[in-house]
Amino acid sequence: MSSSGSESTPELPATRPVDLREARDAVADTAGAGQRVLLRGAGTAQSWGGPVRDAAAIIDTTGLDQILAYNPADMTVAVGAGIALGDLQAKLDGQRVAYDAARVPEGATVGGLLATGDAGPLRATYGTLRDLVIGVTVVLADGTVARSGGHVIKNVAGYDLAKVLSGSLGTLGLVVEVVLRVHPLPEATGTLAVVCDVPTAFTCASGLLASPLEPVAVEWYAGRLLVRFEGTRAGVTTRLGKATDLVREDSGLAHGGADVLDGAGESAAWDEVADVVRGAPGDTVLRVGSRASDLPDLAARLDALATDHDIDATLTSSVGIGVHTVRIRGDEAAAHAAVVAAWRSAVLERGGSVTLHRRIAGLDDLVPSWGPAPATLPLLRALKTQLDRDNRLGPGRFAPWY
């Protein structure tokens, strides 16, 4: 396994379909040959989960990069799953896919972002990509084409493939086409930056999220709580002022403890958060889900572990919804492994989950990619058996679970 964010892809025969028919044929051909397959988009998340083992072929989705239908009035867009989300955003007219995962500037594809279940700070308002999907077309491991949803925003009965595939890391099917809901671009944005520790950040965030002010993102990073607002210029200005008053009331901060960021300063603050989430070569990066109220205890435990093992551990957290990312830096793989194992244990004791997104070289020899199997493992195995009976897609991603 490479220590980079994008696992070095094995030198294997690769097929690059450009439409649904070619994608179906590519999967069917590998099924007929009994080959195990690595499904790959732009490769920005190939280091997520466990390393793929024993794959004999690659199906590359980046040829599926077309906008298939765009209906601004209906606020929907249908795309090939291999289109880079950043490229799609640039082609939307006064609209956007309200989604800001850190990997988007690296060229992450729509299908890959769905398959990883990834999201950025806007998850607090808009959720992950699966929450913006209203239709999906998938080729299953035996070459069967399956669809759910459609091109109209409505509730649908039946198997919700978008939710099934979210977080599956390319192990349940090849996403070929996706229909997304879009939102209007906001007229203005602004961010309140509050200097505080984690317990104070949690208190302030709880008050803001319970208020009618409707921040679109609330993130703690590097000693600051970042609270973002979007809307009309007047509305953003008004809500920033009220949020400042509320934060000072909840935290007892002096007048200098909260600043309003806009323009380049605002962009730089959120770019720093994304840099932690992406990591860099030599880093280990963990994505954690927990109860929101566990954040102060988990942050304190992480600080203690970093001190004990003489490494740098940087935490960024979507406060209020319990999604945290940790970037570990230091020269020794053994120190990374010790912190991963101990902090994973602390998270699991509280009923949370941990996904390994990036690792320092040598980490796989010291600590498993996944911790103890969850109670839902029988359900996960049953789903895997139903959709990929021969375990051909992404073998090893969820090892040793299956």
Average pLDDT (98-106) is 97
Average pLDDT, the chain: 92
Measuring CA to CA, how many Å separate 389 from each of 171, 232, 402?
11, 51, 12
pLDDT more than 90, % of the chain:
89
> Hunting for tokens 């998850």 — which residue is that?
123
**301-321 pLDDT, tens digit each:** 999 999 999 999 999 999 989
pLDDT at 253: 66
The gap from C-alpha 223 to its chain's centroid, in whole angstroms, comes to: 23
The CATH classification number of 279-365 equals 3.30.70.600
- Collapse the DSSP code of 150 into the 3-class scheme (helix H, G, I; strand E, B; otherwise coil) and give the result: coil
**41-84 pLDDT, tens digit each:** 999 999 999 999 999 999 999 999 999 999 999 999 999 999 99
Element (H, E) at 203: helix 198-210
What secondary structure does DSSP assign to 247-295, as a single string? HHHHH---GGGEEEE-HHHHHHHHHHHHHHHH--TT-EEEEEE--GGGH
Return the structure tokens found at 162: 């978008």
Q: What angle do CA 313, 326, 251 make, to 5 degrees?
A: 85
Residue 97 contacts residue 88 (beta carbons within 8 Å): yes
Task: Kindly indicate the confidence band of residue 11, based on its pLDDT and cuts at 50, 70 and 90.
Answer: confident
Average pLDDT (15-40) is 97
**237-276 pLDDT, tens digit each:** 999 999 999 998 877 665 557 899 999 999 999 999 999 9
Task: Kindly indicate the confidence band of residue 347, based on its pLDDT and cuts at 50, 70 and 90.
Answer: very high
Task: Kindly indicate the confidence band of residue 4, based on its pLDDT and cuts at 50, 70 and 90.
Answer: very low
Superfamily holding 188-263: ACT domain (3.30.70.260)
| 70 burial via Cβ count (<10 Å: 0-12, 13-18, 19+) | middle
**282-308 pLDDT, tens digit each:** 999 999 999 999 999 999 999 999 999
pLDDT at 249: 83
Query: Does pTM top 0.85 for this prediction?
Result: yes
Give the β-pairing of 312-318 and 217-221: antiparallel
Average pLDDT (161-185) is 96
Nearest in space to 106 (alpha carbons), one of 5, 211, 228 = 5
For the chain, domain boundaries: 64-184, 188-263, 279-365
Q: Do domains 64-184 and 279-365 have the same CATH topology?
A: no
pLDDT at 148: 87
- Is residue 8 over pLDDT 60? no
- What's domain 64-184's architecture? 2-Layer Sandwich (3.30)
Average pLDDT (394-399) is 95
